[in-house]
Amino acid sequence: MYKNGLSYAGVVSLLLLTHASMLGIVLVRGNYESPKDLIMLACAVLGLDLVGIIASLCYRQMTYTLDLMLLGILNMSLIFQSCFGGVHLSVKFLITCVASLISCEIGFLLTRNHEWIRHQKKYIYLVIGILIACILLFTGGRSMWITFKGFSIQPSEFIKPCYILVCAASIVELHKKIKVTFFYVSPDTLCVLGATLVIFGLQWWCRDLGSLPTFAAVFACAVVCRFCYPRAKISKTWIAVAAVCGVLVLLAAWKLAPAYVQERLHVDIWADQYGSGYQQCQALIGIARGGWLGLGPGQGNLHKVFAYESDIVFSTICEEWGLLYAGIAVLIVLIMLTTVLMNPPKSYYHATMTAGIVAAFVAQMSLNIFGSCNLIPFTGVTLPFISQGGSSLVTCGFMVGMLKAGQSPLFRHKAEKLREDAAAELPSLPFLHKKNSRKSLGNTPQNRRPKV
Amino acid sequence: MKELWELISGLEVPDLILCAAAVLILDLFAISIIFAANRESRLCQKRWEKVGSGVALRFQDVSYPLSADEILLGRHISADIRLADPSVSRYHAVMTVTGGIWSITDLGSKSGTFVNERQVQHAKLIPGDVIRLGSVQLLVTDHAGGASAHRKPPQKKSAPKKAAAPKRAAVRKTQPQKKGGRKHV
Distance CA A311, CA A368 (A): 7
| Domain contains A452 | no
Q: Are A104 and A248 in a shared domain?
A: yes
A172 and A303 assigned to the same domain: yes
Backbone angles phi, psi at A368, to 5 degrees: -70, -50
Q: Is A89 a member of any domain?
A: yes
Confidence of residue A130 (pLDDT cuts 50, 70, 90): very high
Tens of pLDDT, residue by residue over A72-94, are: 999 999 999 999 988 999 999 99
Q: Identify from B9, B13, B19, B75 which residue to disrupt to test chain A contact, counting A C-beta atoms within 10 A and taking the largest count.
A: B19
| CB nearest to A347's CB, from B23, B25, B70 | B70
Q: Is residue A405 part of a domain?
A: yes
CA atoms within 13 Å, Cβ hemisphere of A309: 19
Please choose, from the candidates B172, B130, B127, the residue with its C-alpha nearest in 3D space to the C-alpha of residue B154: B130
How confident is the prediction for chain A on average, in pLDDT?
84
| Cα B39 from chain centroid (whole Å) | 17
Identify which of B29, B100, B137 has the shortest CB distance to residue A72: B29
Residue A440 and residue A305 share a domain: no
Q: Are residues A339 and A431 located together in one domain of the fold? A: no
A44 vs A218: CA distance, rounded Å: 35
Distance from CA of A26 to the nearest CA of B (A): 10
> In which domain, by residue range, is A112 found?
8-410
Q: CA A55 to CA A5: how far, in whole Å?
A: 16
Query: Taking CB atoms and an 8 Å cutoff, what residues of chain B touch A339?
Result: 33-34, 37
Residue A2: inside a domain? no
Same domain, A327 and A426: no
Residues A21 and A168 in one domain: yes
Q: In sequence order, which ranges of A343-431 are alpha helices (DSSP H)?
A: 348-372, 390-407, 415-425
**Is A247 among the domain residues?**
yes
Distance of CA A29 to the CA centre of its chain: 33
Residues near A358 by Cβ (< 8 Å), separated by ≥ 6? A221, A337, A340, A403
Residues A400 and A439 in one domain: no
Phi-psi region of B168 (alpha: psi -120 to 50; beta: other; left: phi over 0): beta
Q: Residues A130, A251: one domain?
A: yes
Contacts of A418 in chain B (CB under 8 A): 98-101
Write down the pLDDT at residue A194. Answer: 94
Evaluate whether A171 touches A223 at the Cβ level (below 8 Å): no
Lowest-confidence segment of A350-354, B50-54, B103-107 by average pLDDT: B50-54
Q: Report the number of distinct structural domains present in chain A.
A: 2
Chain A, chain B: beta-carbon pairs less than 8 Å apart: 200
As a whole number of angstroms, the distance between CA A432 and CA A423 comes to 7
Average pLDDT over residues A158-183: 85
Close Cβ partners of A9 (under 8 Å, ≥ 6 residues apart): none
State whether A181 and A308 are in the same domain: yes
**Which one has a higher pLDDT value, A151 or B91?**
B91
Rounded to the nearest 10 degrees, how much is the dihedral formed by the CA atoms of A426, A428, A429, A435?
130
The complex scores an ipTM of 0.82
Asked if A320 and A291 count as a contact pair (C-beta separation under 8 A), the reply is no
pLDDT at A443 over 70: no
User: A36 burial class (0-12, 13-18, 19+ CB within 10 angstroms)?
Assistant: exposed
Chain A nearest-CA residue for B156: A452
**Residue contact A325–B22, C-beta within 8 A:** yes
Cα A141 to Cα A145, A207, A389, distances in angstroms: 10, 11, 21
A264 and A399, same domain (yes or no): yes
How close is the nearest chain B Cα to the Cα of A145, in Å?
A: 36
B34 or A56, which is more confident: B34
Q: A344 and A441: one domain? A: no
DSSP bridge partners of B56: B65, B141
Three-state DSSP state, B102: strand
Assigned domain for A20 exists: yes
3-state class percentages of chain B: helix first, strand second, coil last, to nearest 5: 25, 30, 45
How does A432-442 read in b/e, with b if 16+ C-beta sit within 10 Å? bbeeeeeebee
- Give tens-digit pLDDT for B117-170: 999 999 999 888 999 998 899 999 876 555 443 444 444 444 444 444 444 333
Number of other residues whose CB lies within 10 A of the CB of residue A222: 25
Query: In chain B, how long is the greatest CA-to-CA distance?
Result: 92
Q: How many CB atoms lie within 10 A of CB A404?
A: 26
Q: What percent of chain A has pLDDT over 90?
A: 44
Domain co-membership, A427 together with A403: no
